[in-house]
Amino acid sequence: MPHMTSDDTSAAVASERGLIVRSLCKEYPTRGEPLVVLRDVHLTLRAGQSAAIMGPSGSGKSTLLSILGALEPPTGGSVTLDGVDPFRLGEAELARFRNRGVGFVFQEHYLLPQCSVLENVLVPTLADRPADDPTPRARELLDRVGLSERLDHLPSELSGGERQRVAIARAMMNRPSLLLADEPTGNLDRRTADVVAELLLELHRAERTVLVCATHSASLAARFERRFEIADGGLAETAVAIGCEPRAGRD
Ligand SMILES: Nc1ncnc2c1ncn2[C@@H]1O[C@H](COP(=O)(O)OP(=O)(O)OP(=O)(O)O)[C@@H](O)[C@H]1O
Ligand SMILES: [Mg+2]
């Protein structure tokens, strides 16, 4: 695979703002035939668009998100974010791409238990020191998610919904072009889920981030500009929210 820097790639396709997925395939090797999870997935989302990804358990939602976030490579096809294909970057550039270009919110908050709320939101700035003091932005984000009174609290002193709000602020800290949320409200009661979803959508709109969210919740999906379903490895856009059985248990 040829090595390209992000400067090379962005110079080549600078006009392609947003997320473009072409002919994406993902197979996992098994002892027998490879397990084909994604086949020929196409998706274009402009800066500022939001998409919900639905589909049954095991259909490939998390797999798709982890490829979009460059956490694992596809078996075929390409992904570009603002004209940059992360899988053509060298190791250091790829790490920068993940840290700067992409924000993640998962079902579990993954906050550092020994760090305060404010310190947790600052974590993404530690990898490469920004020129300006990042603290004012961290405080502003925590204010926007309603936690300005809780800056010095530890994650263990917060409710589940509050922890997810910290995780959202942390994901937005480096002004990513792409915000990925994998069942971000899966552990929350309906009312808390609504609050968390609203904050996710508000921040994505305010910052014109592409937002891709995997969810089993039809009511959450209904709040997104576009909705897709993964079935048999393919991604299809659906006009209306798809009814989905509530899940019996957690992953
Ligand atoms: N590292 C891996 N190696 C082998 N198979 C994998 C790997 N990761 C995922 N899979 C398989 O890929 C398929 C899709 O998994 P994925 O986690 O993407 O589903 P999902 O749609 O997110 O499901 P859920 O709704 O339960 O979260 C599953 O059959 C899973 O077992
Ligand atoms: Mg999943």
Q: Is the CB of 55 under 6 A from ligand 1?
A: yes
DSSP string, 186-228: TTS-HHHHHHHHHHHHHHHHHHT-EEEEE-S-HHHHTTSSEEE
pTM for the complete prediction?
Answer: 0.89
User: 41-84: per-residue pLDDT in tens?
Assistant: 999 999 999 999 999 999 999 999 999 999 999 999 999 999 99
Q: Which residues contact 96 (CB under 8 A, 6 or more apart)?
A: 6, 127, 128
119 CA to centre of ligand 2 in angstroms: 28
CA distance 46 to 43: 10
Residue 172's SS3 state is helix
The pLDDT of residue 248 is above 60: no
Q: How long is the chain?
A: 251
DSSP string, 77-111: EEEEETTB-GGGS-HHHHHHIIIIIEEEE-SS---
106 CA to centre of ligand 2 in angstroms: 9
Residue 38 contacts residue 24 (beta carbons within 8 Å): yes
User: 167-191: per-residue pLDDT in tens?
Assistant: 999 999 999 999 999 999 999 999 9
Architecture of domain 6-238: 3-Layer(aba) Sandwich (3.40)
67-71, 105-109, 119-123, 237-241: least confidently modelled range: 237-241
